Chains A and B, each alone.
Chain A
């Protein structure tokens, strides 16, 4: 069941395509709105690195940012993906100063952003924003827990389907462009293995895979093959982003 996505242009005008922003009640949103600016997320740009100070907080409307854990050897693995259902640097609102992960734009898009200091100041005036930050951090933790368990226990094709679905949710179109480097990071297995799984899905007619570009052909079938993790993460997100509204 895909999101009921409203027309992109109209949503962007109001700066509320991002689910975090869209969930805030009007009063809380009005604390952020004067400071929000919109900027493109360009592929490969590092929004922050491990141990860096948080300077900006990003609310992606489209595109996808992945949180990556980097080992001393230089090897890196994606630990979470953040799209329109997320925030990069949310903890800055609660006074966090530095980050524990590297955030890289994997799929280009647009994001609303403001400075960490402005976000912190707004959160200080709003219980609603603080609540949502805490809920969102819980959600992020849940997503990471789910992906750790998934990478350890679920078959590769199911994981690839899960990943394609969650990425497809962040996209405007059906073609997901993937860099060679990213193919080797995203599922915790080597690139050759990921492309083998992609060829299997292609032979079943679910996707078209061509030199790093994956086109989703049959989303319904992908949902059938994906492990339960996709639905679990989606359900968690729906819970977090609807609870605040219904409580007011």
Chain B
């Protein structure tokens, strides 16, 4: 199992953990750190949180630090103009900044932005597809209406052609004209 180190920092003071403890993975190490913070800042103990104000717990593996949490509150720290905490150059522990200056974290931040961009693009695309779908649906509806109307007219024409009554033929011609208007109306929709 990998070994994890729990360093303490308070302003310029740094109390390194040179012994470490073996844990399953980084998740377990982070859980351990949070449990330690709970141990140290037990709310039943008077002033526990204030006692640890501005102390930070930093977790590192053999290569680098990867997690950092304030122990008590308020959590204030000194930051020099170049945005690096002073005294953060101990061997084995790169300065770990809350606002993700770690290469891994920066990298993770870049990937996050990329994912967000991709998601926005997908959103836009699906909205467009929905609109097209709606349009196609209404066109389909018009066509169906036209088809049904034509069917009715055809049936009527057929029945007229079979029947012997002449005046009705004229009517049938008229209805054919009406079908034309209906068609054009539908197309306008």
Contacts and interface: CB of A to CB of B under 8 A. Distances in A.
Interface string A174-198: 0000000000000001111101100
A166 to B, nearest CB: 20
A9 interface: no
A119 B39 CA distance: 43
B35 interface: yes
Contact of B45 (A153, A192, A199, A200): A153
Nearest to A212: B19
A196 B32 contact: no
B51 interface: yes
A195 B32 CA distance: 13
Interface in A113-163: 152-156
A153 B44 CA distance: 6
A192 B21 contact: yes
Contacts of B45: 153-155
Interface in B12-31: 13, 15, 17, 19, 21
Contacts of A211: 19
Interface SS of chain B: helix, strand, loop or mixed?
mixed
Given A153-B44, A203-B13, A195 B39 contact: no
A153 B47 CA distance: 11
B6 A196 contact: yes
Contact of B32 (A155, A156, A192, A203): A192
B182 interface: no
Nearest to B16: A199
B186 interface: no
B32 A190 contact: yes
B39 A193 contact: yes
15 contacts: A153-B45, A155-B48, A156-B39, A189-B39, A190-B32, A190-B36, A190-B39, A192-B21, A192-B32, A192-B36, A193-B36, A195-B6, A199-B8, A200-B15, A211-B19
By Cβ-Cβ distance, the 5 closest A-B pairs, closest first, are A193-B39, A189-B39, A199-B15, A193-B36, A192-B36
